[in-house]
Amino acid sequence: MEMRVAGCACDNDQFDGQSPAYKRALIAVIAINAMMFFVEMLAGFLGGSQALKADALDFAGDTATYALSLAVIGAALHTRATAALIKGASLGLMALFVLITTIASAFGDASPAAPVMSGVGLLALAANVASVFILLRWRDGDSNVRSVWLCSRNDAIGNVGVIAAGGTVWITESFWPDLIVAALLAGLFAKSSLSIIAQSMQERRASLNFADGRT
C-alpha cells in the first residue's frame, strides 16, 4: 500500500494508521490492556509476584501509549514521530523501574504464589494473543504504528515468561525464577525502547529536513 505522509509532499510506503479498521482494532486493544492492568496488578500484590507486577505495568503503559497512538493518527510525520519518541522513552523508564524493583526484591526471601502466577499469566497470555492477532495486519508501518505492534508482541512474550516462572517457582520453591523473568522483561522493554526511539528520531529528522528544504 502506498501512503502519503501528512505534512510531506513525498510518497511514503509506511502505513500511518489512517484506516477506520485500524482505529477500531486499536480501540479494542486499548480496552483489553486497561482491563488486564487491573487484573494483573491485583494478582501481583495478592500473589507476591514481581513478574506479574512488571507485566501489569506493561499493560498500563500500553494502555496510555496506545491511546496516544490513536490520538495522533493523521497528524504530520513530525507529530507522530514525537508521540512514538515519548512512548519509547516511557518504555525505557518502565524497564529501569522494573529492574530496580527486581533488584530490591532479591534481598527478600518470600516466594511468590506459583498457582497465581501461572493462572493469571495464562489469562494475560490469552488477552495478548488476541491483541496480537487483532493487530497482525498492521505490524509494519511508521514508528507510531510499529511501536503498538512491538508492545503487543512484548506482552505476549512476557506472559509466556511469567507462566514459565510460575511453574519453576512451584518446582524449586524459590523466588529466583520470578525475579529472573522480571529482569528479562526489563531487558526486553529496554530493547524495544531503543528500537522505537531510533526509528522515531530518524522520522523526526526526515520531517525537519523536508521542512528546511521547503523554506
- HSE of 24, CA atoms in CB hemisphere, 13 A: 4
Percent pLDDT > 90 in the chain is 8
- At 7 the pLDDT is 39
- At 143 the pLDDT is 74
- HSE of 209, CA atoms in CB hemisphere, 13 A: 7
For residue range 75-123, list pLDDT tens digits in order: 887 888 888 788 788 878 878 887 887 777 666 656 666 677 778 878 8
pLDDT of 28 over the 90 cut: yes
Burial code (b: 16+ CB inside 10 Å, e: under 16) for 93-117 equals ebbeebbebbeebeeeeebbbbebb
- HSE of 22, CA atoms in CB hemisphere, 13 A: 23
For the chain, the average pLDDT equals 78
Cα–Cα nearest to 153, from 80, 58, 53: 58
Pairwise CA distance, residues 64 & 74, whole Å: 18
pLDDT of 215 over the 50 cut: no
Class of the domain covering 19-209: mainly alpha
For residue range 178-201, list pLDDT tens digits in order: 788 778 878 877 887 888 788 788
User: By the 8 A CB rule, do 10 and 61 touch?
Assistant: no
Q: What is the pTM of this model?
A: 0.66
Q: How confident is the model at residue 24 (pLDDT cuts 50, 70, 90)?
A: very high
Q: Residue ranges per domain, the chain?
A: 19-209
- HSE of 35, CA atoms in CB hemisphere, 13 A: 13
